[in-house]
Amino acid sequence: MHDCPTCRVPLHGHEERCPSCGTPQYVRKGKSSFFDIQKEPSVNMAPIIVTALVIGVVFLIAVQFSWIGQVMNRGQVQEDPMEKMTYLEARQLIETKITEGLTAVGAKGDLKWTSNGEEVDKNADQNVELMIATRLSDPSQRRAIIDPIKDYMEKAKIPTLTMTDSKSNATWTYTVAIPTSLPDDAGM
């Protein structure tokens, strides 16, 4: 603020003429810099930043519920233990589980490995049939013996498993389809 030099009326500094006496005034600019560059009005960045953060949070939440989030959160993929198992390991496991099952129900059994009607070694690299001769106190006990090994029959190359119960004169046959393996260069 300054006063008019003629009439001493207080002025605000932006008047070109004194409102009281009409004397022309020299308008002073309130800049302290050497350059007379007018500054553009600044933009308030707070709403832009808040909006960007809200959009980012919503995007991250949406990604978590999409297939991308499911892939990120699923962790390590569990491998199927049957993939690494050989037919010999599967046959050994079948024999062990059958023996454990027979022991659990209080029975004994004889296992016989055959191929094309002839007895073979259980380690033979071919499809084999397994015959179990036992004496069960209850015919329904066969399920507790056979059910745990059904999944391993294909891997063990056992297309047919026959269980004979001499006490009840019953025979149960379990079969599984064994796929024929293709040569390594076929189909590729």
The whole-number pLDDT of residue 51 equals 95
CB 175 within 8 A of CB 154: no
Give yes or no for residue 33 having a pLDDT over 70. Answer: no
More confident position, 34 or 93: 93
Distance CA 3, CA 11 (A): 5
CA distances from 168 to 9, 30, 105, 130, 139 (A): 128, 114, 15, 20, 7
122 or 26: whose pLDDT is higher?
122
pLDDT at 50: 95
Measure Cα distances from 111 to 39, 84, 95, 116 in Å. 97, 25, 8, 16
Q: What is the pLDDT of residues 99-139, one digit of tens each?
A: 999 999 888 889 998 988 888 888 888 889 999 999 888 88
152 contacts 119 by C-beta, under 8 angstroms: no
pLDDT value of residue 188 = 41
Q: What is the mean pLDDT of residues 140-150?
A: 88
pLDDT of residue 72: 77
pLDDT at residue 186 is higher than 50: no
Map out the domains of the chain as residue ranges: 1-32, 83-175
Q: What was the pLDDT predicted at 30? A: 56
Cβ distance 163 to 147 under 8 Å? no
Position 27 pLDDT exceeds 70:
no
pLDDT score of 182: 42
pLDDT digits (tens, 9 = 90+) for 36-95: 566 677 888 899 999 999 999 999 888 888 888 787 777 777 777 778 888 899 999 999
Q: What is the pLDDT of residue 36?
A: 56
Residue 63 is predicted with a pLDDT of 85
Q: What angle do CA 175, 181, 183 make, to 5 degrees?
A: 170
Q: What's the pTM?
A: 0.55
